[in-house]
Structure 1
Amino acid sequence: MASPRTAPLITQAMIDAYDEYTHLTLDRRGFMDKLTRMAGSGAAAAAIVPLLAASSASAAIVAQDDSRVTGQDITYPGSSGEMKGYLVRPSNQQGRLGTVIVVHENRGLNPHIRDVARRVALEGFVALAPDFLSPLGGTPADEDKARDMFAKLDPAQVAADAVATVAYLKEYEHGNGKVGAIGFCWGGGTVNMLAVNSPDLAAAVAYYGAQPKAADVPKIKAALLLHYAGLDQRINAGIEPFKKALDADHKQYAIYMYEGANHAFNNDTSAARYDKQAADLAWGRTIAFLKEKLA
């Protein structure tokens, strides 16, 4: 009698190698070679990759056709050209609502981030998920191609486009003039950068995002909510200098560390890295924070 199939064993070293591949200098061939050595065979490595990566086939928590929200693809003025984005608001909206920018990871505006925008809208906000790859033609369907495109982005233009997004939402007819932002991974770093560059940003939530330079912290006007994963050594290395600068300038902020969680713990389309307990706790804190700051 054949034994039942079991899920491949995924170690922390494999997760760290995937992070090195997706965020640092390891190329795909080098990553697969490294993963094959860890897994013991090419076949085992091939079975593990989909569990490490985000799956576009994963079911959305809030379906695209959910009648409780109204979503549409839009264009709006960026810093030097047209920006693409996905705008969502509650279908039964009464009065003007706080507005939230939802900033994607280094895979662009994909189905997962659209789902997150719908989750934000269900909590009583107008949510806009910009496509920061708009200057390069927009997010492609191939997420590996999308990742490669991020190296071609000009950080100054990203910051300017983010500031332009705040300006757009500040004047949005269904908004109350208060703008917050939430970002994940690359998006978390972008939200931190936005807080430095936009005095009109009221609230910033960064999930495992790279920190701005300490010298730029005095420019921050927004209240900050910073979520970090306990096992994310790469990003966590910048916490103490950032915290020291925030304290020195008496900024309003809260830092939460989710012990035992990996970078990208909020992304429920990544089987190996998603941590439901950490994600649910961070999400509850995020929504409470945004409701307080954007009312």
Structure 2
Amino acid sequence: MAEWQTLSTPCGAVQAWLAQPEAASRGGVVVVQEIFGVNSHIRDVCERLAAAGFTALAPAYLDVIEPDVDLPYDRAGSNRGVALVNKLGLDCAIDVTQEAAALLRAKGLNVGVVGFCWGGTVAFLANTRLDLPAVSYYGARNLPFLDEVAGAPMMFHFGGRDPHISPEAVAAHRLQQPQAQTFVYDGADHAFNRDPDPPFDPAAAALAWQRTLAFFTEHLQ
């Protein structure tokens, strides 16, 4: 079952896509969007988590700035999305994440977070600032924050051919967050998990997803 919920946050009300498993939940996962909105891909991530037994909640972070954002995967959509998340700011994003986690905890669940691109950085900061177990997919804004102390288990996924995240940047993650699990998928580009849109990489996405589910199974039950 999946439906929209209204989430009250210090930054304002946002809608959030809630997907729940049919059986007893194995834990709660906040799903942090890319810059394009809580679109069909992000909702599908939630529903896949629910199919694996987790309760997933994806706040529409950009509702704080503009409601119902669903941007195309083109240059204009990217430019608009960057402008919106920059206006939102990471501090507000963390506040929204905290309220989403609180809603899941109110259901009696242990809570983690997974995020993609911009959301990957929000997920990382939810680990260091909110002590949430976190999985960060291709977080292109992580570097300035790598000296923050992890508050919970952490996993990073990177594409080996990501033009936005250099091998040196990946090495910095391993150096400054040595306790984290850091995986690189050779041949995969940025946004390799974005099924079915390019640059989706089925093999990399499947392996990263397997590792992500194992991570949440270990740390949320």
Normalising by structure 2, we get a TM-score of 0.88
Match in the other structure for 1:278: 204
Aligned residues: 212
* 1:182 match: secondary structure: strand
In 2, Cα distance between equivalents of 1:81 and 1:240:
37
* 1:238 match: secondary structure: helix
Alignment of 1:1-295 (within 5 A): 70-91=1-22, 93-94=23-24, 96-143=25-72, 144=77, 145-171=80-106, 173=107, 175-176=108-109, 178-199=110-131, 201=132, 203-210=133-140, 211-212=142-143, 213-216=145-148, 218=149, 220-236=150-166, 237-247=168-178, 251=179, 253-271=180-198, 273-295=199-221
In 2, Cα distance between equivalents of 1:276 and 1:179:
27
CA deviation string 1:183-240 (max 9, x = no partner): 11111111112112102x1x21111113252331x2x212111111000142234222
Q: Is the 8 A contact 1:89 1:126 kept in 2?
A: yes
Match in the other structure for 1:35: none
CA deviation string 1:7-38 (max 9, x = no partner): xxxxxxxxxxxxxxxxxxxxxxxxxxxxxxxx
What's the Cα RMSD here? 1.7
In 1, Cα distance between equivalents of 2:176 and 2:92:
25
Q: Is the 8 A contact 1:132 1:138 kept in 2?
A: no
* 2:27 match: secondary structure: strand
In 2, Cα distance between equivalents of 1:235 and 1:142:
23
Alignment-mate amino acid for residue 116 of structure 2: F
In 2, Cα distance between equivalents of 1:80 and 1:153:
9
* 1:215 match: secondary structure: coil
In 1, Cα distance between equivalents of 2:203 and 2:69:
31
Q: Unpaired segments of 5 or more residues in structure 1?
A: 1-69
CA deviation string 1:236-265 (max 9, x = no partner): 342222322223xxx3x2111100110011
Query: Which aligned runs of 4 or more in structure 1 are off by greater than 3 angstroms?
Result: 145-148
Deviation at residue 170 of structure 1 after TM alignment: 1.6
Q: Unpaired segments of 5 or more residues in structure 2?
A: none
* 2:217 match: secondary structure: helix
In structure 2, relative to structure 1, the CA distance for the partners of 1:140 and 1:214 (3 Å cut) is closer
In 2, Cα distance between equivalents of 1:84 and 1:227:
27
Alignment-mate amino acid for residue 162 of structure 1: T
Q: Is the 8 A contact 1:163 1:197 kept in 2?
A: no
In structure 2, relative to structure 1, the CA distance for the partners of 1:109 and 1:262 (3 Å cut) is same
